[in-house]
Amino acid sequence: MIKVGIIGATGYAGQQLASIIYTHPEADITFLCSNSYAGQSFSDVYPHYKGILDNTLISADEAMAQMSHIDVLFTALPHATAFLFVSKAIENNVKVVDLGADFRLDDVETFETWYNCKHDATHLLDQAVYGLSELWMDQMKDANLIANPGCYTTASILAMAPALSSNIINKDTIIIDAKSGVTGAGRKPDVSLLLTECSETIKAYGIANHRHTPEIEQELSKVSDADVYINFTPHLVPMQRGILATCYASMTEDLSLDEVYKIYKDFYKDAPFVRVREDNLETRFTRFTNYCDISLRIDPRTKRIIITSTLDNLVKGAAGQAVQNMNIIFGLDQTLGLTMLPK
Amino acid sequence: MIKVGIIGATGYAGQQLASIIYTHPEADITFLCSNSYAGQSFSDVYPHYKGILDNTLISADEAMAQMSHIDVLFTALPHATAFLFVSKAIENNVKVVDLGADFRLDDVETFETWYNCKHDATHLLDQAVYGLSELWMDQMKDANLIANPGCYTTASILAMAPALSSNIINKDTIIIDAKSGVTGAGRKPDVSLLLTECSETIKAYGIANHRHTPEIEQELSKVSDADVYINFTPHLVPMQRGILATCYASMTEDLSLDEVYKIYKDFYKDAPFVRVREDNLETRFTRFTNYCDISLRIDPRTKRIIITSTLDNLVKGAAGQAVQNMNIIFGLDQTLGLTMLPK
Amino acid sequence: MIKVGIIGATGYAGQQLASIIYTHPEADITFLCSNSYAGQSFSDVYPHYKGILDNTLISADEAMAQMSHIDVLFTALPHATAFLFVSKAIENNVKVVDLGADFRLDDVETFETWYNCKHDATHLLDQAVYGLSELWMDQMKDANLIANPGCYTTASILAMAPALSSNIINKDTIIIDAKSGVTGAGRKPDVSLLLTECSETIKAYGIANHRHTPEIEQELSKVSDADVYINFTPHLVPMQRGILATCYASMTEDLSLDEVYKIYKDFYKDAPFVRVREDNLETRFTRFTNYCDISLRIDPRTKRIIITSTLDNLVKGAAGQAVQNMNIIFGLDQTLGLTMLPK
Amino acid sequence: MIKVGIIGATGYAGQQLASIIYTHPEADITFLCSNSYAGQSFSDVYPHYKGILDNTLISADEAMAQMSHIDVLFTALPHATAFLFVSKAIENNVKVVDLGADFRLDDVETFETWYNCKHDATHLLDQAVYGLSELWMDQMKDANLIANPGCYTTASILAMAPALSSNIINKDTIIIDAKSGVTGAGRKPDVSLLLTECSETIKAYGIANHRHTPEIEQELSKVSDADVYINFTPHLVPMQRGILATCYASMTEDLSLDEVYKIYKDFYKDAPFVRVREDNLETRFTRFTNYCDISLRIDPRTKRIIITSTLDNLVKGAAGQAVQNMNIIFGLDQTLGLTMLPK
C-alpha cells in the first residue's frame, strides 16, 4: 500500500483528496495535516465523515517530522506556502504531487509577476513535471515532483490542445470564457462567498488578469510550438462545483464538424477520463467524477469553432487528477480509485 | 390614465408587466388575458398577489372583443402567436408594444429562416420600430407598434453599440458569451427546467444557432453601418433572474481604458437606465430593476476589449423596457413607474 | 419630512431599512451609520445602489454627534450594542425604533439569562413598547421607544395569538417549528454561512435554547393572560429570505375549520399586512413585502390545529415592520412606503 | 452474481438504483425498464452515464417477458402501478423489492382510503415484509417480497422507534415536522417543481393528510404495541436531496440526555447505517450515502424530547435501502455496494 500524507487536508481540494484516498485500493492515509485545525479530528471539521474519517489532524511541524514515513505527499495549499513541505519531502525521497500553483510555471519571472511574490524553491523547478497526463504522460512517468494543473487550466487546455496541435485554428484568436462553482474560491470566511451574497447572481472577475492565464498559455504554447496568448475570463456561478469552459477560435481551414470530431477522438483515444461527445454539455454530467467532457460546434457563418469542456473543479480539476497522477508515478492503472459515478 | 391590456399575462414577462403597470402612476390595467388560465384569477396563478391583483383572467376571444377599450396593448407571447392580436389592436388605433420576436427583424426571410415559421403580419412590419430607446429614441416617439427587444439582445447591443459606433473595434471579431437565469426559458412544464435538473449545474445551449443572433446582428449592423456577424453563445445559470453578457472584440486603435470609458459615458449620458461603471458587475446589482450596467476592461497583451453588461431579463430585458417604451410613445417621462430598487 | 438616522446601515436589516426609507414619501435619510465601513459610501458596500444611495457612511461617533438633527433613530445592531445610541436619542427627544433584542423582554433577568450579558439601559425599559402593532396598537401610538419584534417571533406570535386569545387551544401544547432563509443569520464572514457550506442542505439549530423563545413566550403569555411555555425550533434553509413557521397545538373544543378561520379573520380585520388565507403557504408569496400570511388546518384524527405563517424576515420580520412602526408613532397611515409587491 | 431487473429505471429512485447496482460487487444489471423512454439508452435520459451505463431501456412488455432471467426485481413506480410486475416476478420465483407504496400497508382498507385507489394484488400482501431492517431484520431474511419503506417514513420511524419501544415518551404526543429536497417529488414536468417556482422558497404541503402518515403510524404502532396517531407535516425545501425530520414528543419520565442517548445507541448498536450523534444534524452530512443520522435534545422547561434525523431520500430513503434489503434477502453482508461517502 502507498502511504499518503496530505498537507492542507481541510481545504476543499484537500478534503476531496482525503475522501478519494480513503477508498483507494492501493493507498492509505498516513497523516492529514491542517495547521488551522490541528488537534481536532477531520470529522469535526467535516462532520459528514463521522465514524469514517475520524483521524486527528496534525500540525505543520508534526507533518514535517513524519515526512520520512510516507511514500507520497500531496500539498493542497495557497500559492507560495508549499515550498518547505515540498523541499523536505523531496529530500526524503518522498514523491510529491503539489495541487498548488508553485511548480506549474516553468519561468520563475512569470510566476513572480503574476503571483506577486517570490519563489522560494527554484532549485526544484527543474524536476517538476506539469501533470496533465493526457498531454505529457511520457515525461510524467518517472517524475518525483508533479505540478498538478489548475482547475480552469485543465478544462481549458484539454479543450484547446487537439485543435492547436493539429493546426486547424489560428492560435492568436483564442478566447476562453470559463464558469466555475463556488468551491473554486476555497473555504474561507469571506463575505463575498456567503450564500446571501453569491447565490442568485453571476459575476465575471479577474478579467484580463487571472492567474490561470499564463499557465494556460504556457501549455498551449508547448502544444503549438509557438507563443500563444489568449483571453481568459472566469465567472463565479451560484453552484457548489463544476467548471464549464466555452472556448472560441477562428478556423484555419474549412473542415466539417465530423472531421474535427475525428481529430479530437483520435487525440484522446487513450485518455480514459476524457469523453469527447456530441451533445450539449452540462457541468453536472461530470459532477463528483474525474471526467473531462468535451463537445464541439462550428459556426459556418463566422468560421469559428466553439469548443465547450466541463469537469468537476475539485476532482479532475484538483484531487482526482492528483490521484490519477499518483497512480501514474507509482506505475498503477491510472483509473485506480477514480471510478466514482456522476450524481 | 392609460388603459392597458396585456396578452400572455401569466408568463413570466406578462406577470412582471402586470406588476409594474399595477404600480404605474399613469396607467391602469383594463384586462389581463391568458388563454390557458382564462376564468381563474391572476392571484390563483400567482398567489403572491392575493388581495392585490385578483383580476379575472380573460380568454383570447374576450381580449379581441375588448380591444377598443384600451389605449395600449402589450403582447407577451411565444413567437408567431401575436399576429392576430397586434393586427386587431392596430386596426383599433390601439398602440402596441410586442414583447415577442415577431416584429423585431426587418427582413421577413431572416425571420422565417431563424424562427422556422411563416410571418402572418408582414403588412405591419413597416410601421414596427425596434424599441431600444437608448439607440432609436427619435424613431420611436411617434411609433404605434414597438418591437420590444429580446433580453439577451438588449444586454448585447447596449454593450457593443458605443464601441462599434465609434469605430474603436473590429466589427468582425465580436464574440458574445451570455449567461441567463432560468426565467429566461419561460414558465413551461419541461423536465429540463426542474430544480432537480437545472440547479447545481451550468450549460451552454443554442451554440451558433440561437435566435437572438440575427437580432443582435441587425441592430449592430445599423449602428456600424456595415454587415456585422457575431458569435453568440447563451448559457443557462442556476438562478432565477439576470443576464450577464461577456463581450469580446479586437481594438482597432491603442486607446486607454479611460478614453473608452469616456466614449461609453458620453454615449449613454441621456440614458437614465444605463449605468456605465468601473467595478466588476454582478447580475444581482440590477435585479428587479430596469437598469443595464456596463463595465469595461482592456487586455493590453491581446489588444482586446472585454465589455460586460448585466440586466434583469424580465425587467430591462422584457417588461420594464416595455413600460419604458410605453412611456416614450405616450410622451411621458421614460422612468415613470420604473424606479424599482435592486434587491 | 421625517428626518431619519440609521445605525447599523450595512447589515441586512439596516440595508433593507435604508432602501425602504429612500422610497418613503414622508421620510428622508439624514445619516447612515456603519462603524465598520465608515468613510466608504453605502453603494461601495452595496454596489446595487450605485447612483441611487451613494451616501457616505458615518462612524458611531459622528452619529452620536448628529443625534439632535433627526426625528427618528433606527438601530439595527447585535444585542447589547445599541444601549448608548438609544439613550442618547431619547435624551434628545428623538424617537427610537430598535430592531435589536435589547428592549423586547420586559424582565431584565430573562434578558440577561438568555442573552448571557448585562443590560446597560434598564432605565429605558419602562418606556419601551413591544412593537407588534397587530396586537398592541393602542399602547404603541404614543411611544418614544419601540422594541421592534424579532423575525421568528413576529411569524410565531401572529400565527398563535388569535387561537390563544380565543381559548380554542391548550396553551401547554404549543410547538413552533420554524424555517428561515440565510439572511436571518446576518452578514458576517462565517464559514458555516458560505454558499459552499449551507446550500443543498437544511439544518436545525438552537434546539430548545434559541433566544427568540422567551420573546415568543412573553407575548403569548400576555395574549393568553397566563404563563405560556413553548417548544421553538429554528432551521436554516438554503434560500436568501423568508420565514415559514409551522405551529402545532391541541384544540380545546371541536370547532370546524370555517369557525377557526372566522376567528382569525375577525382578529386581523384591521391589520392591512396580515393575509389570512386558505391555500398552502410559500415564503415566496410574501417575499420583499411587509405581509405576514397565515393559513389554518385541523387534523380531526389528533384534534390538533396546524397553523402556518410566512413573512419576509428582512421586511415584516425587521425593516418593514420598523417603518410600519415609525408610521404609527408619527401618526401616519401605517402602510405608507410599504406597498412593495412580492417578487 | 445476482441478476437484477429494474422497473421504472428513469425515475430518480430507479436511476439511483441503477447507479448503485452498477458498482455492486455481487450484482449485475440484466435489464433496465422504462416504458416512457423504451428504445432509448439510459445515458440518453441521464447523459451523466455516457460511456458507463449505455444500456437500452426496455418496455414493460419486454420486461414481463424477461422476468424469468433475473434473480431479483426492483420496482420503482408510482403507487398502484407495480402490481402486475410484482405478481409476475413472484410467480417466477424472482425475489422482489418494491420501492413503491403498494405493499407497505398491512391493511387493504387503509391503503385504499389514503391512496384513493383499489389494491389489485391483495393475495401478495401476506408475504410482503416491511423492509426496515433496523427493526425487522429477522422477519426479512426469508422474505420473497420486500416492501421498501418510504423516504419520510424511514427518517421518522428510525427517529422515534427507540423512544417508543422503551416507553420514555407519551405515544399520543408525537409530532413530526419533516423537510425534503425536491427529488422527493419525482421527475415530472410539473410547473410547481421548476427551479423558477421552487427555489428561493419553502412550503408546507399535505398538512394532516400526507400518505406517509398511516405508514409511520403502522410501524410505530407495531413498535409500541398500541395504536399510535401522529401529526406529520412535510415541507419542500429548495435543494435536490435530503430529508430532515424534526420530531417532538412529551417524555414520560425525567431522564437525562445521556440516559436517552444510551437507549438510542443500544438500540442501533448492530445497525451499520444509523449514526446516533451528539452534534446538530445537517442533511448534507448524509448526502449520497446510506446513513441515517439521529441526534437528541431534551427541553427541561417543557419536558419534551426533540429528536432530529436526516438521510438522503434517494439512498437510505429509497434505492440504497432497497439494495441493503437485497443484500439481506440474499444472505450477503448488508453493507455490500453501499459504502458511498458523503459529498
pLDDT value of position D152: 98
Q: Is the pLDDT confidence value at C224 over 90?
A: yes
Report the distance separating Cα C302 and Cα A148, nearest Å.
61
Nearest CA in chain C to A187: C191
SS3 for C306?
Answer: strand
Distances (CA, A) of A257 to A271, B165, C233: 21, 35, 58
pLDDT beyond 90 at B343? no
What is the pLDDT at residue D343?
84
Distance from CA of D244 to the nearest CA of C (A): 7
List the single residue in B188, B190, B195 with the smallest CB-CB distance to D198: B195
B308: nearest CA partner in chain A: A204
From the list A239, A241, A304, which residue is nearest B231 (CB)? Answer: A304
CB atoms C196 and A193 under 8 Å: yes
pLDDT tens-digit series, residues A70-107: 999 999 999 999 999 999 999 999 999 999 999 999 99
Residue B148 is which amino acid? N
Do A52 and D341 lie within an 8 Å CB cutoff?
A: yes
H runs (alpha helix) in chain B: 12-23, 42-45, 60-65, 83-91, 108-115, 133-140, 151-165, 195-198, 212-224, 257-267, 320-329
Element at C160 (helix H, strand E): helix C151-165
The C-alpha atoms of residue A328 and residue C218 are separated, in whole angstroms, by 67
In the 3-class helix/strand/coil scheme, how is D166-212 assigned residue by residue? CCCECHHHCEEEEEECHHHHCCCCCHHHEHHHHCCCCEECCCCCCCH
Q: Do the Cβ atoms of D207 and C244 come within 8 Å?
A: no
Q: Kind of pairing, strands B128-130 and B203-204?
A: unpaired
| Residue B182 to chain D, least CA–CA distance (Å) | 6
pLDDT of residue A343: 85
Residue partners of D299: CB distance under 8 A and separation at least 6:
C207, C208, C231, D305, D306
Which chains have 3+ CB pairs within 8 A of B?
Answer: A, C, D
For the cut 90, the answer to whether the pLDDT of residue C343 exceeds it is: no
Residue ranges of alpha helices (H) inside B173-313 are 195-198, 212-224, 257-267
List the helix and strand counts (H, then E) for chain C: 11, 13
Pairwise CA distance, residues B245 & B232, whole Å: 10
Nearest to D189 among B12, B183, B191 (CB): B191
Per the CB < 8 Å rule, is B202 touching A248? no
Taking Cα atoms as reference points, which of C71, C114, C333, C113 lies closest to residue C232? C114
Write the residue in D12, D188, D195 that is nearest to B195 by C-beta: D195
Q: Which chain D residues have a beta carbon less than 8 Å from that of A285?
A: 47-48, 50
Q: Do C306 and D200 touch (CB under 8 A)?
A: no
Counted across chains A and D, CB pairs separated by less than 8 A come out at 51
Nearest to D279 among A47, A285, A341 (CB): A47
Q: Within a 10 A sphere around the Cβ of C40, how many other Cβ atoms? A: 13
**Inter-chain CB proximity C306 and D208 less than 8 Å:** yes
Catalytic annotation, pick one of C151, C198, C247, C292 = C151
Residues of C with a Cβ under 8 Å from any B Cβ are 19, 22-23, 47-52, 200, 275, 277, 279, 282, 284-288, 339, 341-343
Residue ranges of chain D whose CB lies within 8 Å of a chain C CB: 175, 177, 179, 199-205, 207-208, 229-231, 233, 235, 237-242, 244, 246, 248, 280-284, 287, 297-299, 301-302, 304, 306, 308
Q: Which residue of A has its CA nearest to C190?
A: A189
Give the distance from residue A49's alpha carbon to the nearest chain D alpha carbon, in angstroms: 7
Q: Is the dihedral of CA C322, C325, C330, C335 positive or negative?
A: positive
Cα-Cα end-to-end distance for chain B: 29
- A50, A269, A289, A314: which to substitute to probe chain D, counting the most D Cβ within 10 Å? A50
Which residue, chain included where needed, has cell 465580436?
B174
Residue contact C194–A182, C-beta within 8 A: yes
Residue D105: all three cell numbers together: 400497508
Instruction: Name the minimum distance, in Å, from the CA of C275 to any CA of chain B.
Output: 8
DSSP D87: H
Q: Which chain C residues contact residue D239 at CB under 8 A?
A: 199-202, 238
DSSP letter at C279 equals S
Q: What 3-state DSSP class applies to C75?
A: strand
Residues 6+ apart with CB under 8 A from D340: D20, D288, D289, D290, D315, D320
Please count the other Cβ atoms lying within 10 Å of the Cβ belonging to residue A170: 14
- Kindly report the nearest CA distance between residue D243 and chain A, in angstroms: 15
**Mean pLDDT over residues B12-16, rounded?**
98
Per-residue pLDDT, averaged over B148-153, amounts to 98
Q: What is the pLDDT of residues C50-87, one digit of tens each?
A: 999 999 999 999 999 999 999 999 999 999 999 999 99
Model confidence over A218-274: pLDDT tens digits? 999 999 999 999 999 999 999 999 999 999 999 999 999 999 999 999 999 999 999
CA distance C213 to chain A (A): 25
User: Could you say which of A193, A200, A238 has the minimum Cβ distance to residue C194?
Assistant: A193
What would you measure as the largest C-alpha separation in chain A, in angstroms?
62
Question: Hey, are the CB atoms on A190 and C188 less than 8 Å from each other?
Answer: no
Is residue C157 classed as helix, strand or coil in its secondary structure? helix
Give B152 to chain D, closest Cα distance, Å: 18
Chain B interface, Cβ < 8 Å to C? 19, 22-23, 47-52, 200, 275, 277, 279, 282, 284-288, 339, 341-343
Q: How far apart are CA D339 and CA D109, in angstroms?
A: 39
Residues 6+ apart with CB under 8 A from A340: A20, A288, A289, A290, A315, A320
- Residue positions of D annotated with a catalytic role: 151
Read off the pLDDT of each residue in B56-70 and give the average, rounded to a whole number.
97
Measured between alpha carbons, how far is D237 from C238 in angstroms, rounded to an integer?
A: 8
- Whether residues D282 and C201 touch (CB distance < 8 A) is answered with yes
* Burial bucket for residue B58 (CB in 10 Å: 0-12, 13-18, 19+): buried
* Catalytic-labelled residue, pool B151, B198, B247, B292: B151
CA distances from B66 to B34, B62, D113, D263 (A): 14, 6, 48, 72
Across the interface, do D231 and C304 touch by the CB < 8 Å criterion? yes
Question: Which three cell numbers mark C131?
Answer: 412593537
Residues in chain C: 343
pLDDT in tens, chain A (343 residues): 999 999 999 999 999 999 999 999 999 999 999 999 999 999 999 999 999 999 999 999 999 999 999 999 999 999 999 999 999 999 999 999 999 999 999 999 999 999 999 998 999 999 999 999 999 999 999 999 999 999 999 999 999 999 999 999 999 999 999 999 999 999 999 999 999 999 999 999 999 999 999 999 999 999 999 999 999 999 999 999 999 999 999 999 999 999 999 999 999 999 999 999 999 999 999 999 999 999 999 999 999 999 999 999 999 999 999 999 999 999 999 999 999 999 8
Of B202, B229, B297, the CB nearest to A208: B297
Binding-site residues on chain D for chain A (CB distance < 8 A): 19, 22-23, 47-52, 200, 275, 277, 279, 282, 284-288, 339, 341-343
From C200's Cα to the closest Cα of chain A, the distance in A is 9
- Write out the DSSP string of D222-263: HHHTS----EEEEEE-SSSS-EEEEEEEEBSS---HHHHHHH
Of A33, A151, A198, A292, catalytic: A151
The b/e string for B94-125 (b: 16+ C-beta within 10 A; e otherwise) is bbbbbbbbbbbbeeeeebeebbeeebebeebb
Cell of B122: 408582414
- Residues with Cβ < 8 Å from B61, sequence gap 6 or more? none
Name the H helices within chain A. Answer: 12-23, 42-45, 60-65, 83-91, 108-115, 133-140, 151-165, 195-198, 212-224, 257-267, 320-329
Number of A:C CB contacts under 8 A? Answer: 54
Q: pLDDT 10s per residue in chain D (343 long)? A: 999 999 999 999 999 999 999 999 999 999 999 999 999 999 999 999 999 999 999 999 999 999 999 999 999 999 999 999 999 999 999 999 999 999 999 999 999 999 999 998 999 999 999 999 999 999 999 999 999 999 999 999 999 999 999 999 999 999 999 999 999 999 999 999 999 999 999 999 999 999 999 999 999 999 999 999 999 999 999 999 999 999 999 999 999 999 999 999 999 999 999 999 999 999 999 999 999 999 999 999 999 999 999 999 999 999 999 999 999 999 999 999 999 999 8
